[in-house]
Amino acid sequence: MIKRKLLGQHFLNSNSIAQTIVSESNITKNDVVFEIGTGLGILTPLLCGVAHKVISVDADENLVKKAKSNFSEIKNLILKSGDGFKKKDSFSIFVSNLPYSKSKDAIEWLAQKSFSHGVIMVQKEFAEKLLAKSSKQRKAISVIATYVFDIQKISNVGKNNFSPPPKVDSVILKITKKHKLDKKSIVTINTIFSYRRKTVKNILKQFKKESVIDKRIDDLSGDEIIHLANQILEK
C-alpha cells in the first residue's frame, strides 16, 4: 500500500459506485474506453462488459500482472503498465478514479486529446476548483477545464468507500468535450495566472505585446483569458 499512497491512489471498494460510474459513462459497443488506474480492477470488467474495447493502464506493474491473471478470459481488454498520460492510444470515452496527485495533469492531458466524454472521480476540493464560479477562487486549471469541457457533477463519494480511506471525500464528474487546447496554450494560461495581480496591459508587456486594457485576471471571463492566451501566442 505504501507505493499506492505515494502515487496518491486509493482503491474504490464500492460496487454500487463502480456501477454508477459505468452507467454514467454511457458506453456503447462502438466505444473504446481508456481507463487510467486499473487498481484492483473494480471498474475494469464492468467497462469491458459494455465497451467494444477497454485499454486500462496502471503505474504499478504488480497490479497490472494481477489484472492480467484475474481477467485473462476477457478478450476486449488491453492492460498496460506505465504512465497513462504518456500513452498515445486513441479512445472515445475516458474513465478514471484519478490519483489525487495527478488530477491537474489529467485535465491538462485530456484538454489536448480528441474524445467524446468521460467520467472521473476526483478529490472534492479539486472538483470545487474546476467548478469555481467566483473569479477569486478560480485557478488556471478552472479556466482550462471549463473552456474544454462541459462539466456535470454526478455525486459525492464518502472517504469510507476507499481502501485505504483518504482524508477527504471525492466527487464523480462527467466531462463532455467541447474544445481542444494545445500544450502551448495550456502553458500560457498557467503563466498568465502567475501574473494574476498585474493588469492585462502589464501582462502583455512581459511578452512584448501592447494593450490598453487595465483589467486584472480576476475581472476577465474564462473566454477572455483564452483570448488573452491566443494574443500572447500570435506571431
132 and 203 in a common domain: no
Cis bond upstream, residue 99 (ω within 30): no
Residue 6 has pLDDT above 80, yes or no: no
100 and 7 in a common domain: yes
Q: From the centroid of its chain, how far is CA 109?
A: 7
As given in the structure block, the three cell numbers for residue 154 are 454526478
State the average pLDDT over residues 119-134.
93
170 and 111 in a common domain: yes
State the average pLDDT over residues 72-98.
96
Residue with grid cell 498496460, as numbered in its chain: 80
Structural domains of the chain, count: 2
State the average pLDDT over residues 17-21.
98
127 and 51 in a common domain: yes
The DSSP result for 29-96, as a single string, is TTPEEEEE--TTSSSHHHHHHHSSEEEEEES-HHHHHHHHHHTTT-TTEEEEES-GGG-----SEEEE
pLDDT computed for residue 101 by the predictor? 83
195 and 175 in a common domain: no
224 and 176 in a common domain: no
pLDDT computed for residue 3 by the predictor? 42
Boundary-marking domain end, from 136, 161, 180: 180
25 and 138 in a common domain: yes
Q: What range does the domain containing 138 cover?
A: 2-180
171 and 228 in a common domain: no
222 and 173 in a common domain: no
pLDDT computed for residue 9 by the predictor? 64
pTM of the model: 0.92
Residue 118 has pLDDT above 60, yes or no: yes
112 and 45 in a common domain: yes
Residue 47 has pLDDT above 50, yes or no: yes
Average pLDDT, the chain: 93
Boundary-marking domain end, from 164, 180, 196: 180
Quote the CA–CA distance of 43 and 35 in Å, as a whole number.
9
pLDDT computed for residue 5 by the predictor? 43
Rounded to 10 deg, the angle between the 183-194 and 140-148 helix axes is 140
79 and 35 in a common domain: yes
Residue 8 has pLDDT above 70, yes or no: no
As a whole-number percent, the residues of the chain with pLDDT over 70 amount to 96
Q: What is the CATH number of the domain that holds 75?
A: 3.40.50.150
168 and 112 in a common domain: yes
Boundary-marking domain end, from 139, 164, 180: 180
Per-residue pLDDT reduced to its tens digit, 176-213: 999 999 999 999 999 999 999 999 999 999 898 888 88
